[in-house]
Amino acid sequence: MLNVVEQHGVATIEKANYSLLLMGGKYLRGLSMPLFNLNPKESPKELFGRERELKELIHLIKAKRWVAVLGPRMVGKTSLLKVAGAELEKAKIKVVYVNLWGAKGTNGLLRALARGLNDEKSILQKIKDVAQRIEGVSVGTGGISMSISKRPMATVWDLLEAIGNQAGNCVIELDEVQELAAISGRLLKLLANIFNTHPNIVFIFTGSMFGLMKTLLEPGASSPLYGRSPAKLYLQPFTKELATKFLKKGFEEHNLIIKDEIVNEAVERLDGIPGWLTLYGNNITIRKLPHQKALEETISEGIKIVKDELEHFLEGRDKQAYLATLKATATPVRWTEIKGAVEIAKASTVNDATIYRIIENLKAAMLIEEKENVYRINDPMLRTLLLTSQIT
């Protein structure tokens, strides 16, 4: 039933059931073609190759352990969170998903929490009478709304207390928690208080490890979370084998069979990062681009996303020194070479402590990796961005 379609000289795609494709992307995407959907996945059948991680996360949460889901961008952290959330709700555990991206400071946290609560009607219902009485909070038909609070952290605490007292067992998912690095001291205190007083609330954190994540994950003796650090769950990129299976399965959903060498090239170039594989697959199946074009577009789109994130990371930092370090590590290097590169960029000597700090921060943010004293960037998009001088 399959016939080979020649595209640009290579037999790339075989199509069957063309009529199926004409039924409309939306219908098909929703029902039977989930894998190359660009949104974070929300149900177990859409989530590929993460059975073990999903099981472990759910097990830890049911055992009331707090968990930090770690991994590079586009590896599937939000997807894992959302799928786990859906599964936990089936087990009658209420879940509040809080997206902290862009939430600078306590007011941002408060607004993000309110948005999360407004999406979780079962909790909202239970806490609304109590929430009504919290200063600056009003509850209407549209859910919770806030007046700009002078003491937003106190309001966050009051809301969490209301949840702790009224809502039964629940999970609060804080996605992109590194956004709160600037208020980490106060946040850690708040979390320790919740830990002590409301054991029915369990937190899941995700993010790159920078700042807050590090104090969350490795709390020193003076940290309010000392002795209570969350369990760590690392999400790795797909292995070559798994990435190949992922692409093939995604193409199968569209009744396409793609030649092995083409799948291999995509796997090779996109380094097993699920988000980039998904984007590539989407470019082929939904946008109907030929292989090379789909790959190029994925890479340039990927570079754009990485560039935005990198600029976000560089805000308020010594951009020159950080960029010099990153550019140096685009090919594997040793410490002294990094120091040399930073000194050239700054046209002055730089002390060792500064270099150590930069490297530590970049490692913590999962932008670079160290193995046996060699530093390198793993993300193929980030590497290309830096090597092609698209950022200065």
Binding residues (CB under 5 A) for Mg ion: these are 77-78
CB of 194 to ligand ADP, least distance (A): 24
Tokens representing 33? 């073609």
Taking the CB of residue 128, how many other CB atoms lie within 10 A of it?
18
Spell out a b/e string for 49-84, using b for 16 or more CB atoms within 10 Å of the CB, else e.
bbeebbeebbebbeeeebbbbbbbbbbbbbbbbbbb
Looking at the Cβ atoms of 48 and 97, the one nearer to ligand ADP is 48
Spell out a b/e string for 95-115, using b for 16 or more CB atoms within 10 Å of the CB, else e.
bbbbbbeebeebbbbbbbbbb
N-terminal to C-terminal alpha carbon distance within the chain: 52
Q: In one letter, which amino acid is 353?
A: A
Which of 60, 68, 75, 359 touches ligand ADP (CB under 6 A)? 75
Which of 149, 278, 325, 329 touches ligand ADP (CB under 6 A)? 278
Query: Which residue has its beta carbon closest to ligand ADP?
Result: 76
Select from ligand ADP, Mg ion, none the partner in contact with residue 73, using the beta carbon and a kind-dependent cut-off of 5 to 8 Å: ligand ADP
Bin 356: left if φ > 0, else alpha if -120 < ψ < 50, else beta: alpha
Q: Which helix (H) or strand (E) holds 307?
A: helix 291-314
Select from ligand ADP, Mg ion, none the partner in contact with residue 38, using the beta carbon and a kind-dependent cut-off of 5 to 8 Å: ligand ADP
Residue 232 interacts with ligand ADP (CB under 6 A): yes or no: no
Select from Mg ion, ligand ADP, none the partner in contact with residue 48, using the beta carbon and a kind-dependent cut-off of 5 to 8 Å: ligand ADP
CB of 10 to ligand ADP, least distance (A): 26
Residue 77 interacts with ligand ADP (CB under 6 A): yes or no: yes
Select from ligand ADP, Mg ion, none the partner in contact with residue 35, using the beta carbon and a kind-dependent cut-off of 5 to 8 Å: ligand ADP
CB of 155 to Mg ion, least distance (A): 26
One symbol per residue from 27 to 66: x for binding ligand ADP (CB under 6 A), - otherwise; what is it?
--------x-xxxxx-----xxxx----------------
**Contact indicator for 329, 340 with CB cutoff of 8 Å:** no
CB of 77 to ligand ADP, least distance (A): 3
Q: Which stretch binds ligand ADP (CB under 6 A): 148-156, 194-202, 226-234, 273-281?
A: 273-281
Residue 76 interacts with ligand ADP (CB under 6 A): yes or no: yes
* CA dist 94 → 111, 120, 202 (Å): 20, 8, 10
Looking at the Cβ atoms of 205 and 375, the one nearer to Mg ion is 205
Q: In one letter, which amino acid is 101?
A: W
DSSP assignment of 47-105: S-S-HHHHHHHHHHHHTT--EEEE--TTSSHHHHHHHHHHHHHHTT-EEEEEE-TT--H
What count of Cα atoms within 13 Å lies in the side-chain half-sphere of residue 258?
Answer: 26
**Separate counts of helices (H) and strands (E) for the chain:** 17, 12
CB of 50 to ligand ADP, least distance (A): 5
Select from ligand ADP, Mg ion, none the partner in contact with residue 383, using the beta carbon and a kind-dependent cut-off of 5 to 8 Å: none
Looking at the Cβ atoms of 108 and 275, the one nearer to ligand ADP is 275
Tokens representing 138? 């009003």
CB of 273 to ligand ADP, least distance (A): 8
Contact residues toward ligand ADP (CB under 6 A) are 35, 37-41, 47-50, 71, 73-79, 274-275, 278
